[in-house]
């Protein structure tokens, strides 16, 4: 291959590399936008226990005692897979996964219900409140 | 495309995709087999490539999505593949590949529309079981050990390709489904997992009967990744016993499969291609010679000799690219596909359904690419599997496009309850 042709090949390859890099960067910027979008979809809510804040960062949030759940409440009063929270049309819903393990929302036993801001969810001995996300003020975030 | 910064990044992406295609065309013009007599063909190819780019960018404006990077990557790869396919054995626009590229883009949109609302698609799970069953029945009755294609006169279709997206949808799941367990003897079993396992057993049997063993690893990979996604959710720890049992059972299955394999498969497994260059090792030996001839930057577009070998544009596409464009460009295209598949790692899906969907799609693509490329390089036996988006073939392109649509759906999901039109009508009355 002649030198000129070789240089052209190298330049083409470099342009392809740069294009791929631009597309990777674009994915990264989309990730930043995605976080803002999720706040909108999830209505920017979080679960709060005194001293601890749990972010609601996906469509399905599993709550229980098992080490593999999203929100772990390590107490024998909590079932291994106790409840699941889902979001739809910006509204969070909580559903019991085990009929033997109750969930109380504002003191009432439920199997599935829609949640409003400042509702208190009681799972075992834990009391969690759902509220709009606030600026971090030294609390532990999980 | 909501914010101004959002628009800017997409404008940059579009410009760079266009520039990269123009650079490839320039390279083709100066380094390729582009005589004055071929000029018309080259101009037609250049106009088609740039036209397809611009038309797709315009079409993207009509689809409201959260992310567009996979779309840009898709058109980036598809047009590169169109340039490659139009250069093999002489520069001329590959009309067949252009049509399949357009079909692939359309099926990508369909896949996106179908899968973006996971609440809706979860409710239709039974329909996917039926669809998969129908495709399997078609394979059983209309194809078989003689041929893998259905001849429709003006074109042929390969039903086993359509089984891939259908099986990925069967393998998807969501957490509530995983919590629905039934007690059988001493075990708590999830019925949905049993159905999934039943399907893979049936598919393995079917592929074995049809002698389409090349695509069998793809289905097994989809199933295993689906299974891992189920076992590992969310961040579950797998015990050493479980891992050892899993690896041991896989090894036993592989050894059994090799022992029970038909004679032609066994001969391919242990063939020395350099002692049999005119028999079983013909394609692979020619492919390796072509890769060696191509070097880093190839012999130039349209200057290759591999187009005289059967399946140079499908099964041997990696070697064809290496020969005419060089190993560097071939590796770059593979990397571009891998980057496209890796986008869910950067921008992870927000639902478990879309996560399992993305796992299935990525595993199918990676295994398919590995089978083709390693087969071309004589690292594994030749399987006859295509490289997604690069190899020619209508069924493969359409299904790959559809699967990519599924991946885009995971990036731009809808979290809304499906609207029930019947209820609305009743209320209005």
Residue B382 pLDDT > 70: yes
**Interval A44-99: pLDDT, tens:** 888 888 888 888 888 888 899 888 788 889 888 898 889 999 888 788 999 998 88
**Interval B271-305: pLDDT, tens:** 778 887 887 788 888 999 999 998 888 888 888 88
**Interval B217-248: pLDDT, tens:** 899 999 998 888 887 765 555 677 777 888 89
CA R_g for chain A: 23
Q: Would B79 be classed as within a structural domain?
A: no
- Report the C-alpha gap between B11 and B234 in whole angstroms: 37
Q: Would B392 be classed as within a structural domain?
A: yes
pLDDT of residue B384: 79
- Stretch B150-167: mean pLDDT, rounded? 86
* B37 Cβ contact partners less than 8 Å away, ≥ 6 residues apart: none
User: For chain B, give me the number of helices (H) and strands (E)?
Assistant: 18, 4
- Report the C-alpha gap between A112 and A84 in whole angstroms: 9
User: For B84-98, B251-265, B351-365, B395-409, which range has the lowest pLDDT when averaged over its residues?
Assistant: B251-265
End-to-end CA distance of chain A: 59
Q: If residue B165 lies in a helix (H) or strand (E), which one and from where to where? A: helix B159-171
Residue A116 pLDDT > 70: yes
Instruction: Determine whether the interchain pair A67/B236 forms a contact, defined as Cβ–Cβ distance below 8 Å.
Output: yes
Long-range contacts of residues B145-148, Cβ cutoff 8 Å, at least 24 apart: B145/B209, B145/B210, B145/B211, B148/B210, B148/B212
For chain B, the average pLDDT equals 86
Which residues of chain A have a CB within 8 Å of the CB of B297?
1, 6, 9-10, 13
pLDDT of residue B146: 64
Instruction: Determine whether the interchain pair A5/B30 forms a contact, defined as Cβ–Cβ distance below 8 Å.
Output: yes
Q: How many CA atoms lie within 13 A of B349 on its CB side?
A: 25
Q: What percent of chain A has pLDDT over 70?
A: 94
Our CA-based measurement puts residue A29 at a distance from the nearest CA of chain B, in whole angstroms, of: 8
Residue B380 pLDDT > 70: yes
- Greatest C-alpha distance within chain A: 82
Q: Would B57 be classed as within a structural domain?
A: no
Which residues of chain B have a CB within 8 Å of the CB of A57?
350
Q: Would B214 be classed as within a structural domain?
A: yes
CB neighbourhood size of B289 (10 A): 15
Q: Is A81 on the interface with B (CB under 8 A)?
A: yes
| Interface size, chain A vs chain B, as Cβ–Cβ contacts under 8 Å | 143
Long-range contacts of residues B105-110, Cβ cutoff 8 Å, at least 24 apart: B105/B56, B105/B59, B105/B74, B105/B75, B105/B78, B105/B401, B106/B401, B107/B398, B107/B399, B107/B401, B107/B402, B107/B405, B108/B74, B108/B401, B108/B402, B108/B404, B108/B405, B108/B408, B109/B63, B109/B405, B110/B402, B110/B405
Q: Would B193 be classed as within a structural domain?
A: yes
**Helix ranges (DSSP H) in chain A:** 3-41
What is the pTM for the complete model shown?
A: 0.89
Residue B156 pLDDT > 60: yes
- String of DSSP letters for B191-256: HHHHHHHHHHHHHHHHHHHHT-GGGHHHHHHHHHHHHHHHHHTTTPPPPHHHHHHHHHHHHHHHHH
Q: Is A87 on the interface with B (CB under 8 A)?
A: yes
| Structure-block tokens of residue B313 | 């544009």
Residue to mutate among A1, A8, A12, with most B CBs inside 10 A, is A12
- Stretch B362-382: mean pLDDT, rounded? 89
Q: Would B67 be classed as within a structural domain?
A: no
Q: How confident is the model at residue B422 (pLDDT cuts 50, 70, 90)?
A: low
**Chain A 101-140, residues with CB within 8 Å of chain B CB atoms:** none
**Interval B183-198: pLDDT, tens:** 887 777 888 888 999 9
Backbone angles phi, psi at B117, to 5 degrees: -100, 95
Residue B345 pLDDT > 80: yes
**Interval B43-65: pLDDT, tens:** 999 999 999 999 999 998 888 88
Nearest to A13 among B118, B332, B416 (CB): B332
Which ipTM was obtained for this model?
A: 0.82
Residue with tokens 């015990």: B239
* B84 Cβ contact partners less than 8 Å away, ≥ 6 residues apart: B317, B320, B321, B324, B325, B333, B390
Nearest to B66 among A37, A58, A59 (CB): A37
Tally of structural domains, chain B? 1
Which residues of chain A have a CB within 8 Å of the CB of B68?
26, 30
- Stretch A32-47: mean pLDDT, rounded? 81
Q: Would B421 be classed as within a structural domain?
A: no
pLDDT of residue B166: 94
Q: Would B131 be classed as within a structural domain?
A: yes
Residue B203 pLDDT > 60: yes
- Report the C-alpha gap between B261 and B297 in whole angstroms: 40
Residue to mutate among B21, B120, B350, with most A CBs inside 10 A, is B350
How far is residue A42 CA from its own chain's centroid? 9
**Interval B78-127: pLDDT, tens:** 999 999 999 988 888 999 999 999 999 999 999 999 998 888 888 888 89
Q: How confident is the model at residue B1 (pLDDT cuts 50, 70, 90)?
A: very low
Our CA-based measurement puts residue A51 at a distance from the nearest CA of chain B, in whole angstroms, of: 24
Our CA-based measurement puts residue A6 at a distance from the nearest CA of chain B, in whole angstroms, of: 8
**Interval A124-137: pLDDT, tens:** 899 999 988 876 55
3-state secondary structure at position A101 = coil
Instruction: Determine whether the interchain pair A81/B415 forms a contact, defined as Cβ–Cβ distance below 8 Å.
Output: no
Residue A15 pLDDT > 90: yes
Q: What is the residue range of B279's domain?
A: 117-411
Residue to mutate among A22, A40, A82, A90, with most B CBs inside 10 A, is A22
Residue to mutate among B19, B57, B67, B77, with most A CBs inside 10 A, is B67
Q: How confident is the model at residue B145 (pLDDT cuts 50, 70, 90)?
A: low
User: For A17-21, B368-372, B384-388, which range has the lowest pLDDT when averaged over its residues?
Assistant: B384-388
How far is residue B196 CA from its own chain's centroid? 21
3-state secondary structure at position A38 = helix
Q: What percent of chain B has pLDDT over 70?
A: 93
Instruction: Determine whether the interchain pair B16/A23 forms a contact, defined as Cβ–Cβ distance below 8 Å.
Output: yes
Q: Is A12 on the interface with B (CB under 8 A)?
A: yes
Q: How many CA atoms lie within 13 A of B45 on its CB side?
A: 30
């Amino acid at each position: 291959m002649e030198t000129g042709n070789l240089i052209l090949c190298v330049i083409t390859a470099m342009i392809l590399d740069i294009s791929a890099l631009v597309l990777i960067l674009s994915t990264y910027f989309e990730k930043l936008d995605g976080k803002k979008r999720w706040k909108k979809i999830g209505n920017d809510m979080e679960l709060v226990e005194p001293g601890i804040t749990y972010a609601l960062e996906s469509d399905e949030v599993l709550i229980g005692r098992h080490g593999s759940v999203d929100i772990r409440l390590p107490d024998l009063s909590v079932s291994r897979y106790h409840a699941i929270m889902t979001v739809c049309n910006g509204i969070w819903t909580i559903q019991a996964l085990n009929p033997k393990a109750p969930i109380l929302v504002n003191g009432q036993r439920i199997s599935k219900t829609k949640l409003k801001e400042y509702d208190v969810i009681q799972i075992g001995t834990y009391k969690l409140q759902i509220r709009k996300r606030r600026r971090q003020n030294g609390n532990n975030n999980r | 495309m909501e914010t101004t910064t959002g628009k800017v990044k997409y404008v940059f992406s579009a410009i760079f995709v266009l520039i990269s295609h123009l650079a490839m065309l320039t390279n083709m013009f100066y380094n390729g087999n582009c005589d004055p007599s071929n000029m018309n063909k080259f101009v037609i190819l250049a106009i088609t490539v740039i036209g397809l780019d611009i038309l797709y960018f315009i079409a993207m404006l009509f689809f409201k999505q959260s992310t567009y990077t996979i779309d840009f990557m898709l058109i980036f790869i598809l047009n590169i593949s169109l340039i490659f396919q139009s250069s093999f054995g002489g520069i001329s626009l590959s009309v067949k590949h252009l049509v399949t590229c357009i079909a692939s883009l359309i099926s990508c949109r369909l896949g996106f529309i179908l899968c973006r609302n996971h609440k809706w698609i979860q409710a239709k799970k039974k329909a996917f079981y039926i669809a998969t069953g129908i495709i399997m029945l078609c394979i059983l009755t209309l194809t078989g050990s003689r041929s893998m294609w259905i001849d429709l006169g003006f074109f042929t279709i390969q039903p086993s390709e359509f089984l891939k997206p259908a099986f990925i949808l069967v393998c998807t799941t969501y957490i509530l489904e995983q919590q629905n367990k039934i007690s059988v003897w001493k075990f708590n079993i999830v019925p949905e997992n049993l159905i999934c396992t039943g399907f893979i057993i049936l598919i393995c049997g079917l592929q074995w009967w049809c002698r389409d063993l090349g695509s069998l690893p793809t289905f097994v990979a989809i199933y295993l990744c689906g299974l891992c996604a189920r076992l590992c959710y969310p961040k579950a720890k797998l015990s050493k016993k479980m891992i050892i049992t899993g690896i041991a059972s896989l090894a036993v299955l592989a050894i059994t499969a090799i022992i029970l394999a038909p004679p032609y498969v066994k001969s391919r497994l242990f063939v020395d291609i350099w002692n049999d260059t005119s028999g079983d090792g013909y394609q692979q030996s020619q492919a390796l010679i072509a890769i060696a001839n191509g070097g880093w930057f190839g012999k130039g577009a349209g200057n290759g000799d591999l187009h005289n070998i059967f399946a140079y544009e499908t099964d041997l596409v990696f070697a064809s690219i290496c020969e005419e464009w060089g190993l560097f460009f071939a590796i770059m295209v593979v990397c571009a596909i891998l980057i496209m598949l890796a986008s869910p790692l950067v921008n992870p899906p927000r639902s478990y359904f879309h996560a399992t969907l993305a796992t299935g799609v990525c595993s199918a693509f990676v295994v398919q690419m590995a089978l083709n490329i390693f087969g071309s390089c004589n690292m594994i036996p030749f399987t006859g599997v295509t490289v997604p988006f690069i190899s020619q073939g209508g069924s493969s392109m359409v299904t790959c496009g559809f699967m990519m649509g599924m991946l885009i759906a995971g990036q731009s999901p809808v979290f809304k309850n499906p609207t029930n039109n019947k209820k609305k009508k009743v209320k209005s009355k």
